[in-house]
Structure 1
Amino acid sequence: MGIEAWYMDSSDEDQRKPHKLVPNQPVSMDQLGELGVFYSKLNADVYETDPELEQIRKDQGYSHMDIITIHKDTLPNYEEKLKMFFEEHLHLDNEIRYILDGQAYFDIRDKGDRWIRIAISKGDLITLPAGIYHRFTLDETNYTKAMRLFVGEPVWKAYNRPADDFEVREKYVASLTAAHNTKWTPYNQRVE
């Protein structure tokens, strides 16, 4: 079980291409867990009535959700939004996305500031921790439909890098040194 992730090349080619190194350098679920990335695989065909999704929402306190379809025919200012999503940034809260259809990429920074690309597709529920530098893009299919989940009211504010002075960033960086002592289980509940 898991999603596919790898270290990225530094090519300036289209951001929607895979950007794998040659040879490929895969990144494991354990390595993502050490960076605070949570993951679960769900059945997106039944998202409206899925008891597993409801349990995760209840357990994690995800009280608000909405759905966004990212495609040139459905998203106003499509090209501008894609550029904005691909700017390296962080949030003051976790970013939770559940892919209901299509595919996309989240890129995150590792402890050494190298880019890791995470391929997400239908059924993938991913949480990026508050304070992690990341960006988002579609893949070459140019389409995804995602549920956005929030604890409390939705907060859309992104802080472009550099944003190292935020307390949430400092806490995230400090958590990386403790992470190697933590095991991750499905939906990555911490086991100390």
Structure 2
Amino acid sequence: MVQAWYMDESADDQRRPHRAQPDRPVDLEQLRRLGLDADKYENDPELEKIRKERNYSWMDIITICKDKLPNYEEKIRMFYEEHLHLDDEIRYILDGSGYFDVRDREDRWIRISMEKGDMITLPAGIYHRFTLDEKNYVKAMRLFVGEPVWTAYNRPADHFEARGQYVKFLAQSA
């Protein structure tokens, strides 16, 4: 089951949970209001149904660990840089675990713990980052509508239409 919480301000190892003290959990409804749709799917027929319903026509699988990912250290640093994409980012966790961090309306970090069976859709234009947890391993399916777009735009990237549309969405859902 997906868990999320507000993060502390510590500069300690990014792979640690970084729960604010006192603990400030974030529920799925609060994530949905940010445009995030994270649910758990148990089997491939359900995933296939989701892919068809949402037109996710292209997919690949990425394994993030020292032995499997070329330029591992560089990629880990790159994934953890705050950025946005011009298209939705969809990830289905096949094995292992890690964290997606997103900004709330007040620009505070929320950490979302993801593990095997979890799926997340990060809307185009949302500032976010990813890191492994202390297990240092995740295998994820990446889904796209049409051809894959890998370009990440580091913050500040407020001039993109996708960011403007996301900010407009936040204002409307407030």
Sort the TM-score into its range (normalised by shorter chain). Answer: over 0.9
- Deviation by residue 1:111-161 (Cα, 9 ceiling, x = unmatched): 000000000000001000000000000000000000000000000000000
Give, as a single letter, the amino acid of the residue that structure 2 aligns with 1:7.
Y
Secondary structure (helix, strand or coil) at the match of 1:176 reads helix
Displacement after TM superposition at 1:83 (Å): 0.1
Choose which of 119, 128, 134 in structure 2 pairs with 1:140: 134
Q: Counterpart amino acid of 1:118?
A: I
Give the distance between the partners of 1:53 and 1:3, measured in 2 at CA. 17
User: What TM-score do you get using the length of structure 1 for normalisation?
Assistant: 0.89
- The corresponding residue for 1:96 is 90
Alignment-derived partner of residue 28 in structure 1: 27
User: Secondary structure of the residue that 2:94 maps to in structure 1?
Assistant: strand
By how many angstroms is 1:177 displaced?
1.8
Distance 1:9 1:40 in 2: 25
User: What does the per-residue CA deviation read over 1:96-123, in whole Å, with 9 as the maximum and x for residues that have no partner?
Assistant: 0000000000000000000000000000
Provide runs of 4+ in structure 1 moved above 3 Å: none
Q: Which amino acid aligns with 2:6?
A: Y
Preserved CA contact (<8 Å) 2:2 2:39: no
Measured in 1, the distance between the counterparts of 2:130 and 2:140 equals 12
Contact 2:6/2:108 (<8 A) preserved:
yes
The answer (yes or no) to whether the contact 2:99–2:113 under 8 Å persists in 1 is: yes
Shift of 1:42: 1.2
In 2, Cα distance between equivalents of 1:32 and 1:125:
13
Residue aligning to 1:68: 62
2:47 counterpart SS class: helix
Aligned to 1:189: none
Helix, strand or coil at the partner of 2:25: coil
Q: Which runs of 5+ in 1 are unaligned?
A: 181-192
Aligned-pair CA distance for 1:7: 0.4
Q: What fraction of aligned residue pairs are identical, expressed as a percent?
A: 67
User: TM-score by structure 2 length?
Assistant: 0.98
What residue ranges of structure 2 are gaps of 5+ in the alignment?
none
Note if 1:12 corresponds to 2:6.
no
CA RMSD of aligned residues (A): 0.8
Mapped to 2, the partners of 1:5 and 1:51 lie a distance apart of 27
Aligned AA (2:160): F
Question: Which of 110, 115, 126 is the matching residue for 1:116?
Answer: 110
